[in-house]
Chains A and B, each alone.
Chain A
Amino acid sequence: MIEAHKLSKFYSRGLYALRDLSLSVGKGEFVFLTGPSGAGKSTLLRLLLRQERPSEGDLIVNGHNLSTLSRRDVQEYRRGIGFVFQDFKLIASRTVLENVTFVLEVLGVPPAQQRRRAFQVLKWVGLQHRVNAYPRDLSGGEQQRIAIARALANDPLLLLADEPTGNLDPDLSLEIMNLLREVNAGGTTVLVATHDRELIRLVGRRTITLDQGRIVEEA
């Protein structure tokens, strides 16, 4: 699913956010990305979402070489990727249901199908009873579950999560992680960046530790 070969990213010469990174993540894997602040976790996820281009080396995801994607191809590529961020990125002016149908709408899905799929994923994250609420009326954990529902709406092959539990207390964090594990059990490859070592220990999956842009440990 993900092949990185001597992958580097720098913002100014000599200051590497990622350096000569080589890794391979298979289809259907669940992988944690951890390491101290500034290690390069978010940078790798930004590269995987093609928000930025690699500076050197190769990054191949699901057959797409991310260094050479055209603008149009980037759109196509992103349709196969789900994302979850620490700050949820929900749209405040839209209801829970609309937050999910919105992404389906702007991907050109017909209206009837939008609602059907949205109810399906919202039920799946256990929020089918809050469809008409607005994000501000929900707890942090509930908001993140909506973000996960939204990420799943388009049936992604790969789900990227950057500190998805960064704003949540430990109980809620574990709940979100279990949800992500279920997503993974459904066949989606999941990559989670977190510095919560306790959480990683509780979930117990493949873990890649970064420091100063390099892989320092794999377990």
Chain B
Amino acid sequence: MRAIDYAIREAWASLWRSRGASAFAVVAIALAVTVLGALLLLTSNVERLFAQWSSAAEFSVYLRDDATSEHRGAIEALVDRSGVAAGREYVSKAQALSRFRRDFTELDGLTQGLDDNPFPASVEVRVLGEAERDGRADALVQRVARLPGVADVRYDREWLGRLAAGLGAVRSVGLTLVLIMALAAGVTVAAVVRLGLYARRDEIEVMRLVGSPMAFIRGPFVAEGMMQGGLGALLALGLLWVGFVALGAWWGGQLSLLLDGATLRFLPLRLAAWLVAGGMLVGAAGGFAASRHAA
């Protein structure tokens, strides 16, 4: 306890004494945490929207014009028994046509001249989120496609798959970058903390000669690195918050249109706390490495 108290006091004094260099280390940590935070902000939001979109998944079973009501009954029975569907709706040829006319009024003329209704009847199936994710929906789609009376099954999940893959790539590249930056930040902290070693060399010599425990000798350096890391992480969170707010202010309108009403969220408090803890950990590691020269 007394060692911690001592370490914190000495670390503050040292931080202040070499504030120029310390600011440098704080910025290095802040950069790494900013990149990590931005990455988390991006992936957490995309993942959340992704889940929303996935839960809104549905597929359409288009019926042949010559499909009988037995065919339709068999399809619906299979869907109901599968446990994959959250609900289903039959859309008749007439309903399909009027839906088209409603959604695309400007193309109305195109359908006016037709004698025949070109739109197929369909069964629209809303898929449960977990069935979508664990592949049961895909299996059902394949089975339904083989039933008699079925013209085609449209289950357009490919773009979600591509999004997931893209997100995975962004994440692994980003994390690699973060790892490198964290390492660089740790090394910077170590170098800056080491400057304090010189300023305190007389004290350290006396401490060693009187048999002071290692916690007292190395503690201040670890604490100093930890402070730099914590300050850097807080700075990064501030920057991220400002960036997040600015993004909302400038492009909020377009974004909400693009996101279909869904909103972007800032990093949850717990994650932010983890980022600060991570910054402190990297700083402490740098300080600890620097303190080897005191021991």
- Interface pair B2/A108, CB less than 8 Å apart: yes
- Interface pair B209/A107, CB less than 8 Å apart: no
Of B209, B213, B214, which one neighbours A108 at CB under 8 angstroms?
B213
Q: Identify 8 new A-B residue pairs, CB closer than 8 A, beyond the known A105-B2, A107-B212, A154-B210.
A: A89-B205, A91-B206, A92-B202, A102-B206, A103-B207, A103-B212, A106-B217, A108-B3
Give A85 to B151 CA distance when docked, in angstroms.
Answer: 99
For window 245-274 of chain B, which residues contact chain A by CB distance below 8 Å?
A: none
- Interface pair B2/A89, CB less than 8 Å apart: no
Contacts of A77 in B (CB 8 A): 211
Which of A78, A79, A105, A110 gathers most chain B CB within 10 Å?
A105
Contacts of B206 in A (CB 8 A): 89, 91, 102-103
- Interface pair B210/A79, CB less than 8 Å apart: yes
A24 contacts the other chain (CB 8 A): no
Query: With contacts A89-B202, A92-B202, A103-B206 known, is A110 near B211, CB below 8 A?
Result: no
- Interface pair B211/A78, CB less than 8 Å apart: yes
Contacts of A105 in B (CB 8 A): 2, 6
- Interface pair A91/B210, CB less than 8 Å apart: no
Interface of B toward A, CB cutoff 8 Å: 2-3, 6, 202-203, 205-214, 216-217
A83 contacts the other chain (CB 8 A): yes
Of A78, A91, A110, which one neighbours B209 at CB under 8 angstroms?
A78
| Inter-chain CB contacts under 8 Å: number | 51
Give A77 to B211 CA distance when docked, in angstroms.
Answer: 7
- Interface pair B203/A102, CB less than 8 Å apart: yes
Give A82 to B247 CA distance when docked, in angstroms.
Answer: 64
A62 contacts the other chain (CB 8 A): no
Contacts of A217 in B (CB 8 A): none
Contacts of B208 in A (CB 8 A): 78
Could you jot down 7 A-B contacts, CB within 8 Å? A77-B211, A103-B210, A106-B212, A107-B213, A108-B2, A108-B213, A108-B216
Give A102 to B217 CA distance when docked, in angstroms.
Answer: 12
Contacts of A81 in B (CB 8 A): 211
- Interface pair B214/A91, CB less than 8 Å apart: no
Say how far A217's CB is from chain B's closest CB, in angstroms: 30
- 9 residue pairs, one from A and one from B, having the closest CB atoms: A78-B211, A106-B212, A79-B211, A75-B211, A106-B216, A103-B210, A106-B207, A91-B202, A108-B2
